[in-house]
């Protein structure tokens, strides 16, 4: 049976389609988020690695110049300020500047800031550098370390330069001047230009007091700017030697992934920053491609799913229709079967049903033994009735006779049938002779009570003649329906012969004709 409370197949199909769509969306969303995180992590790692490499490069750049400065100090100590000594020192300076790409120039100043010797072709005497930070620093600090100054514009070339300097000590340890190397900022510019940091990326070399020494891209006001108050410097660079942080620039509003690192040998730091939007641009492109792909898949799934659901629904409806049709057919078949068993006029069983029923009853008896009675009933003078009242009235009469017989035959399993014409038959399973005679008599009485007028009969009413037979069968016999009907028919004919409206019992014997008993005789 079809159970309405269960989810229908179309419901299951709909749930299936929706679930598949949801799973695809959730998986795509999840994998998109994951790729977003991976992209950021890898970019952070990349900026961090570049920061480390640039810090090492900057260290090396300054260390190489510092070694040259140390060499110069040694030479000055050895050769002193004699003309020939200074000439040799000049030659050494020229050769050193030629040997180091980052080195723009080498200078020696006396304790008053006057130019003593330098790497330039001619020694300018008109400049005095006593006002420079590095000069003041060395004059005030007796420190055996190089000093890296803020970016300045060269007095000789006008270029932005970085300075790295050392103090010259006189024999008594007092301030004797400064030896200075300058590094052209274009050296860092060229080097930093090789890194792919995107359009909105940035690289910065700064000193730990927050001063920008160099920046890529190099904006007009970049060099020398103080970042001390920027959130990046305040909250991150100042607090830790290295790290990575995502921060929105207060200047251009761009969110960047910033990796910073201190130089190992100098009080400087490097920041490498990449724009988050640029870092995620490729990911974003993939996301859009996938969104379009997933949308296409979802549309196809929705379209196909809707079709599938509709098809499943149609099949369900067809199945329901088929079930309904089957039920209708079954009930029609039952009706037809019932109709095929019934007589059309009298509504009692028909001749075919009677034959089948008697055959099967006798087959059962022949196999298992038992008793069975048969009554044959024939309407008396029915031809005259038809002649008197007409055939239509004859039909009605037959219906009333059948009803009267049916009234007398009450037990379940008894079969009342129209045997043919105005003749009826009654099969009484498990009913012996006595019982059969009672039924036969009650049948006659039932008809008497009907009082169907029949002016041309002797009694004035419709009567019937009844022949009865009964058998008690031992298992293994072969009683045929024909023999039993013949026996009952013999009783019926005798009843007719002896004046009608009576019952004659005909003892059944398969071999020979038996004694014929009259109902009244038997009852007595």
Ligand X SMILES: Nc1nc2c(ncn2[C@@H]2O[C@H](COP(=O)(O)OP(=O)(O)OP(=O)(O)O)[C@@H](O)[C@H]2O)c(=O)[nH]1
Name which of 419 and 505 has its Cβ closer to ligand X: 419
By CB under 6 A, name the one of 66, 343, 380, 489 that touches ligand X: 380
> Are 484 and 508 contacting, i.e. CB atoms less than 8 angstroms apart?
yes
**Among the residue ranges 20-28, 120-128, 240-248, 373-381, the one whose residues contact ligand X (CB under 6 A):** 373-381
Q: How far is CA 2 from CA 5, 12, 55, 82, in A?
A: 9, 15, 79, 119
Rounded (5°) CA angle 63-69-73: 145
Q: Confirm or reject binding of residue 422 to ligand X (CB under 6 A).
A: yes
Stretch that binds ligand X, among 50-58, 151-159, 376-384, 473-481 (CB under 6 A): 376-384
Shortest Å, Cβ 502 to ligand X: 12
**63 counts as binding ligand X under rule CB under 6 A:** no
Minimum distance between the CB of residue 335 and ligand X, rounded to whole angstroms?
Answer: 23
**What pairs with residue 418 in β-bridges?**
424
Burial level of 349, CB count in 10 A (0-12/13-18/19+)?
buried
Minimum distance, C-beta of residue 383 to ligand X, in the bound complex (Å): 3
Cβ-Cβ contacts under 8 Å for 291 (sequence gap 6 or more): 28
Tokens 């040694």 sit on residue = 74
Draw the binding track, 484-523, toward ligand X (x: CB under 6 A; -: no contact): ------------x---------------------------
Instruction: Spell out the residues 6+ positions from residue 283 whose beta carbon is closer than 8 angstroms to its own.
Output: 35, 36, 39
CB nearer to ligand X: pick between 484 and 495 = 495
Give the separation between CA 491 and CA 144, rounded to whole angstroms: 155
Interface stretch with ligand X, choices 24-32, 372-380, 430-438, 473-481 (CB under 6 A):
372-380
Please list every residue from 383 through 402 that binds ligand X, using CB under 6 A. 383-384, 386, 391, 394-395, 398
Q: Closest separation between CB of residue 407 and ligand X, Å?
A: 20
> Pick from 138, 215, 256, 381: which binds ligand X (CB under 6 A)?
381
Which residues are CB-contacts of 439 (< 8 A; sequence separation ≥ 6)? 373, 375, 408, 409, 414, 426, 428, 431
If one asks whether residue 421 binds ligand X (CB under 6 A), the answer comes out as yes
Question: How many residues appear in the chain?
Answer: 524
Task: Using the rule CB under 6 A, give the single segment among 50-58, 175-183, 352-360, 382-390 that binds ligand X.
Answer: 382-390
Distance between CA atoms of residues 197 and 36, nearest Å: 19
**379 in contact with ligand X (CB under 6 A):** yes
Q: Toward ligand X, which CB reaches closer, 96 or 506?
A: 506
Selected from 66, 378, 414, 490, the binder of ligand X by CB under 6 A is 378
Instruction: Report the C-alpha gap between 200 and 205 in whole angstroms.
Output: 17
* Count of residues engaged in binding ligand X, rule: CB under 6 A: 16
The minimum distance between CB 345 and ligand X, in angstroms, equals: 6
Find the shortest distance in angstroms from Cβ 379 to ligand X: 6
Residues 96-115 that bind ligand X (CB under 6 A): none
CB 250 within 8 A of CB 194: no
For residue 249, the surrounding DSSP H or E stretch is: none
> Which lies closer to ligand X via its Cβ, residue 107 or residue 382?
382
CB of 401 to ligand X, least distance (A): 11
Q: Which residue, 195 or 461, has its beta carbon nearer to ligand X?
A: 461
Is 271 a binder of ligand X (CB under 6 A)? no
> From the CB of 499, what's the least distance to ligand X, in Å?
11
Among the residue ranges 4-12, 149-157, 187-195, 381-389, the one whose residues contact ligand X (CB under 6 A): 381-389
Q: Which of 168/504 has CB closer to ligand X?
A: 504
Closer residue to ligand X, CB minimum distance, 110 or 486: 486
Check: CB of residue 69 under 8 Å from CB of residue 164.
yes
Residue ranges of alpha helices (H) inside 3-116 are 9-79, 83-99
467 binds ligand X (CB under 6 A): no
If we measure between CA atoms, which residue out of 216, 152, 211 comes closest to residue 184? Answer: 152
How far is the C-alpha of 247 from the C-alpha of 44, rounded, in Å?
12
382 interacts with ligand X by CB under 6 A: yes
Does 343 help bind ligand X (rule: CB under 6 A)?
no
Rounded to whole angstroms, how far apart are CA atoms 341 and 350?
A: 6
* CA distances, 461 to each of 366, 456, 457 (Å): 41, 9, 7
Report d(CA 86, CA 79) in Å as an integer.
7
Residues that bind ligand X (CB under 6 A): 345, 378-384, 386, 391, 394-395, 398, 421-422, 496
């Amino acid at each position: 049976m079809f159970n309405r409370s269960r989810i229908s197949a179309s419901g299951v199909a709909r749930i299936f389609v929706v679930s598949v769509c949801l799973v695809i969306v959730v998986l795509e969303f999840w994998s998109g988020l994951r790729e977003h995180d991976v992209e950021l992590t890898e970019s952070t790692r990349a900026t961090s690695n570049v920061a480390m490499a640039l810090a090492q490069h900057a260290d090396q750049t300054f260390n190489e110049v510092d070694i040259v400065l140390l060499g110069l100090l040694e030479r000055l100590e050895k050769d002193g300020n004699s003309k020939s000594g200074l000439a040799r020192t000049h030659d050494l300076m020229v050769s050193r500047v030629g040997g180091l790409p980052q080195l723009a120039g080498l200078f020696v100043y006396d304790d008053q800031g006057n130019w003593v010797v330098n790497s330039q072709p001619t020694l300018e005497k008109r400049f005095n550098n006593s006002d420079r930070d590095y000069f003041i620093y060395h004059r005030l600090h007796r420190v055996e370390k190089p000093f890296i100054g803020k970016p300045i514009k060269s007095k000789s070339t006008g270029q932005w330069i970085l300075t790295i300097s050392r103090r010259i000590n006189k024999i008594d340890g007092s301030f004797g001047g400064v030896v200075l190397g300058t590094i052209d900022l274009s050296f860092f510019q060229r080097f930093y230009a090789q890194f792919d940091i995107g359009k909105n990326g940035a690289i910065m070399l700064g000193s730990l007091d927050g001063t920008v020494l160099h920046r890529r891209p190099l904006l007009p006001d970049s060099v020398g700017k103080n970042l001390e108050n920027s959130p990046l410097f305040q909250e991150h660079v100042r607090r830790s030697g290295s790290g990575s942080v995502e921060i929105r620039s207060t200047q251009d509003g761009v969110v960047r992934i910033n990796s910073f690192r201190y130089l190992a040998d100098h009080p400087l730091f490097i920041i490498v920053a990449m724009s988050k939007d640029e870092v995620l641009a490729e990911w974003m492109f993939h996301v859009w491609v996938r969104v379009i792909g997933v949308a296409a898949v979802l549309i196809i799934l929705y379209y196909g799913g809707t079709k599938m659901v509709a098809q499943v629904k149609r099949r369900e409806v067809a199945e329901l229709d088929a079930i309904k049709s089957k039920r209708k057919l079954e009930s029609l078949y039952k009706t037809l079967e019932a109709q095929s068993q019934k007589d059309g006029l009298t509504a009692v069983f028909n001749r075919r049903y009677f034959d089948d029923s008697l055959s099967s009853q006798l087959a059962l008896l022949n196999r298992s033994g038992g008793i069975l009675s048969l009554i044959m009933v024939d309407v008396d003078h029915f031809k005259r009735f038809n002649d008197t009242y007409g055939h239509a009235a004859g039909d009605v009469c037959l219906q009333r006779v059948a009803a009267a017989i049916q009234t007398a035959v009450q037990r379940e399993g008894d079969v009342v049938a129209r045997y043919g014409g105005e003749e009826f038959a009654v099969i009484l399973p498990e009913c012996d002779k006595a019982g059969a005679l009672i039924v036969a008599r009650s049948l006659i009485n039932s008809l008497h009570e009907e009082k169907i007028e029949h002016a041309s009969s002797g009694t004035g009413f419709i009567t019937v003649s009844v022949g009865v037979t009964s058998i008690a069968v031992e298992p293994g016999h072969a009683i045929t329906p024909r023999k039993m009907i013949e026996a009952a028919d013999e009783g019926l004919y005798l009843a007719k012969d002896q004046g009608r409206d009576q019952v004659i019992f005909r003892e059944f014997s398969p071999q020979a004709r038996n004694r014929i008993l009259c109902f009244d005789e038997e009852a007595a």
